[in-house]
Amino acid sequence: MRVSILTYIFPIVAICVLLITYTSAISTTYEGFDTPKKPILASCPKDSYVFITKAGDMDCCANEPVGSTCSSVRCTLSPEHDSIKTCISLLQARFKDSELRFCTESKPSYFETQTTSGCFRGDRMPDGSPADGATDICYFYDNQEDNYSKQDSCTLQKAKENFKCPWNNATISVQDGSSSVLICKSITGSGIQQCGEDKTLMNYLDKNVPNWRLTFDQSQKSQFCSIMVSSIAEGRDPSTYDWPV
């Protein structure tokens, strides 16, 4: 008897983000991606060395400098000079990139501290953490399991924001457990249709049914929402698609 993949989920009830930490950063108030961030950097980025050049500029070296000489200047704490970008501009670019890639519309602002990183709405403190009054904070965890199981995970919340159901008038829910799965469900006169968001469903199966790609019937591909979206749009049988990766 063929068993739906999702039946493994209901009875039982994340891209590690690399943390590159800066020691001091602050920004002005902002509400969305388009408002520029203006962090003030007081010291060199992590794993770099501050040194004073012969011209009196305070630069940051990627390796240990020899006197006032550095073979690989990373950025400068002084105004930009000799085509060397300011450390502030590098921090701004990193925060902007992280916001666009990892944060959600409801939590558009990225933060980093010595111990954690995440997204939120509000201002940043000088140490890079959310200021008092910041709301809707989520976090990036250092392992896939936590990123796809903890409800305050930015990875899980981003997946939910980007989740596309294949059916109209469908509902999206989070199936809690050791690994949360985003479920799309549609109830019609012909019955119940449901599928899971690819990454959360695969994370669950990889943990609980390690050989699922080998043991599940090809028809079970319909339990992945991305396959159903393509199947409906292209008029193809779900079993003709490759398993998601």
Tens of pLDDT, residue by residue over 144-156, are 888 888 889 999 8
* Last-in-domain residue among 101, 130, 154: 154
Burial of 64 (0-12, 13-18, 19+ CB in 10 A): exposed
Residue located via tokens 């936590």: 146
Q: For the chain, where are the E strands, in sequence order?
A: 49-52, 58-61, 73-76, 109-112, 117-121, 135-139, 171-175, 181-188, 191-196
Cα–Cα distance, 137 to 154 (Å, whole number): 8
What does the alpha-carbon distance between residue 150 and residue 76 come to, in Å, rounded to a whole number?
39
Q: Is residue 196 part of a domain?
A: yes
Q: How far apart are CA 179 and CA 39, in angstroms?
A: 36
pTM: 0.62
CA distance 233 to 216: 24
- 177/168 Cα distance (integer angstroms): 27
Integer Cα distance of 144 and 150 in angstroms: 10
Q: Kindly state whether residue 28 falls inside one of the protein's structural domains.
A: no
SS3 171: strand
Give pLDDT, residue 10: 38
Do 145 and 176 lie in one domain? The reply is no
CA dihedral 3, 228, 164, 191 (to 10 degrees): -60
Q: Does residue 127 share a domain with residue 62?
A: yes
| Count of positions (residues) in the chain | 245
**How many independent structural domains does the chain possess?**
2
Structure-model confidence comparison of residues 186 and 124, the more confident one: 186
Predicted local confidence at residue 128, as pLDDT? 64
Q: pLDDT tier at 8 (50, 70, 90 boundaries)? A: very low
| Pair 228, 174 in one domain | yes
Asked whether 63 and 74 are in contact (CB, 8 A), the reply is: no
pLDDT higher than 50, residue 26: no
Instruction: Determine the average pLDDT of the residues in 30-58.
Output: 67
Instruction: Based on the fold, state whether residues 57 and 140 are members of the same structural domain.
Output: yes
> Which domain, by its residues, includes 56?
49-154
Secondary structure element (H or E) that encloses residue 228, with its range:
helix 225-234
Angle at Cα 166 formed by Cα 160 and Cα 168, nearest 5°?
Answer: 95
Query: How many Å apart are CA 105 and CA 8, to the nearest integer?
Result: 32
Q: Is residue 34 part of a domain?
A: no
User: Is 146 found in the same domain as 163?
Assistant: no
Choice between 47 and 39, residue whose per-residue pLDDT is larger = 47
Q: Residue 178: helix, strand or coil by DSSP?
A: coil
Identify the domain boundary among 125, 154, 183.
154
